[in-house]
Amino acid sequence: MRTIIVGTRQSALALTQTGQAVELLKQLAEKHGIACQFEIKKIVTKGDRILDVTLSKVGGKGLFVKEIEQALTDGEIDIAVHSMKDMPFELPEGLVIGAIPEREDPRDALITRGAKSLDDLPQGALVGTSSLRRSSQLQHVRPDLRIESLRGNIDSRLRKLDEENFDAILLAAAGLHRIGWRDRITAYLPPEQCLPAVGQGALCIECRGSDDFVLDLLGKFQHEPTALAVRAERAFLGRLNGGCQVPLGAYASVSAAGGEAEAPELTLTGMVGSPDGAVMLKETASGSDPEALGRLVADKLIAQGAERILNEART
């Protein structure tokens, strides 16, 4: 009987989503007659240790995944459950994405102290977010809003909304749904208004490329429409050399294919904006090859000066 050791961060969200993924993996293993058991191992990452600095200033990609990937490479763990949006474009040598399960809600959620919606926030209201992507899109439609950095796990960010002087904060709906805090959400921001981060709402189950036993099991966990959408979004990310610390967003959806033989059609929208929202570039395109589509949308934005905007935001 193989024991599969599953690595996770120790935040409430990480523990919850890892627990949920392991439950589903157990069911799949049983259904397919794969003999295995699971053990969960908690790992502290750099992103968890440095909580007092804005993410874009901590620097380095993959703040939440590096130590976990090292544990995978060293054989201390066999699979890792990550939020897809925390995954850098490139994986270390020897590691692969073993499965992309079905996506949760990809949208950003507004959580206010009183106001009923984004439009209902008073002039000059104080909004907490450390995401340049969120502040850019928010200030694009509401230049009057004041944005202040807000870091920490979901639980501590919600506490800061209550205790500090924020009128509202923005969080990913998926995280709130997963930890059972749906009722804290005031409003969902549609992708047309606030394009999510690449991979937002999806999970990434990472493993060693050489571990056939685990790869076989994880293959049964893959949700093809989600995987196609995420591949397109990540190809967009890769072309722009982006990470979660730059004002860049993308969202792909899969429309039902005409027939069994037809490849599903994907529609991808990508955005790059200046952190103050004054410049907002957005492009949409459709296609059936996810990587080609991601690169196409990125190239359309590059033609409009996206790389200059990203470089300015990086410095």
Ligand X SMILES: NCc1[nH]cc(CCC(=O)O)c1CC(=O)O
Q: What secondary structure does DSSP assign to 48-85, as a single string?
A: HH--SS-HHHH-SS-TTTHHHHHHHHTTS-SEEEEEGG
Q: Is 171 in the site for ligand X (CB under 6 A)?
A: yes
Closest CA relative to residue 84, chosen from 209, 218, 243: 243
State the Cα angle at 307 between 305 and 311, rounded to 5°.
Answer: 125
Q: E-assigned strands of the chain?
A: 2-8, 36-42, 79-83, 95-99, 108-112, 126-128, 146-148, 168-172, 187-189, 203-208, 248-255, 265-273, 280-287
* 299 is an active site residue: no
Q: Is 237 in the site for ligand X (CB under 6 A)?
A: no
- Count of chain residues binding ligand X (CB under 6 A): 12
Nearest distance in Å: CB 55, ligand X: 7
Q: Which stretch binds ligand X (CB under 6 A): 21-29, 79-87, 159-167, 184-192?
A: 79-87
Which x/- pattern over 6-45 shows residues binding ligand X (rule: CB under 6 A)? -------x--------------------------------
Closest CA relative to residue 81, chosen from 40, 120, 111, 50: 40
**From the list 118, 150, 168, 172, which residue makes contact with ligand X (rule: CB under 6 A)?**
172
Span 250-279, contacts to ligand X by CB under 6 A = none
Phi/psi for 274 (5° steps) reads -75, 150
**From the list 62, 98, 175, 242, which residue makes contact with ligand X (rule: CB under 6 A)?**
175
Of 154 and 301, nearer to ligand X (C-beta) is 154
Residue from 48, 74, 78, 86 carrying the catalytic annotation? 86
Q: Which residues are catalytic?
A: 86
Footprint on this chain of ligand X (rule: CB under 6 A): 13, 83, 85-86, 154, 171-172, 174-175, 200-201, 244
